[in-house]
Structure 1
Amino acid sequence: MPLTPETLPRHELVGLEVRVRAGANPDLLGIAGTVVAETTETLGIERGGEVPSEAANRVATVPKEGTTFEFALPSGEVVTVEGRRLVARPARRTEKSGDSKWR
């Protein structure tokens, strides 16, 4: 199945570029980088900067529930996904079929 805006919630997220667009925790807003880890309820986002430093290369653990993410697809499209739609064990979430739940 190709990675498209419609199929994003059913795909592997590790390796995708992401940005926290909105969320219940204001400290997490604007975090951007590459998804390097995923659990049932969190995404691990490695923040990279133009100038390597301790702060720029840390991994931020962001809860899925209550957060809105923007994912950049390899095609260049940007897809906004409510984190609650991603809450599931990664292996189970990628096995789900049916209609897309992205917005």
Structure 2
Amino acid sequence: MNARTLPRHELAGLRTEVVDSPNADLVGISGEVVDETTNTLLVAGDRVKQVPKAAATFRFTLDDTRVRVDGERLVARPARRTETTTPSKWR
């Protein structure tokens, strides 16, 4: 996994922070992604918070690299997102 391919991978277990959103209450939510649905990320910091993907821009931390991802790119079932964004010999 690297900065370019991050949206194609499983996000659970990654550190993230909401850096931009039309909803000011979401900005600053940070922690570890503990679960992912089609439209939301569950982020565990001091509490587990449900963040709509489409309404936020996220910054993920990969080792020492920070990757900024528009939540619209993540809207899909996790398994479907990883299948449809990469060539697959199984389709």
- Spell out structure 1 runs of 4+ moving beyond 4 A: none
Aligned position for 2:13:
15
Deviations 1:52-98 (A, max 9, x none): xxxx2x10000000210000013x10000000000000000011235
RMSD over equivalenced CA pairs, Å: 0.9
Structure 2 matches for 1:44-83, cutoff 5 A? 44-47=42-45, 56=46, 58-74=47-63, 76-83=64-71
**Hey, what's the Cα distance between the residues in 1 that align with 2:73 and 2:85?**
13
Aligned position for 1:86:
74
Gaps of 5+ in 1: 48-55, 99-103
Q: Secondary structure at the match of 1:70?
A: strand
**Hey, what's the Cα distance between the residues in 2 that align with 1:26 and 1:73?**
25
Identity %: 53
Greater share of strand residues, 1 or 2? 2
**Hey, what's the Cα distance between the residues in 2 that align with 1:60 and 1:69?**
14
Q: TM-score, normalised by structure 1?
A: 0.80
How far has the Cα of 1:24 moved from its partner?
A: 1.6
**Hey, what's the Cα distance between the residues in 1 that align with 2:70 and 2:49?**
18
Gaps of 5+ in 2: 87-91
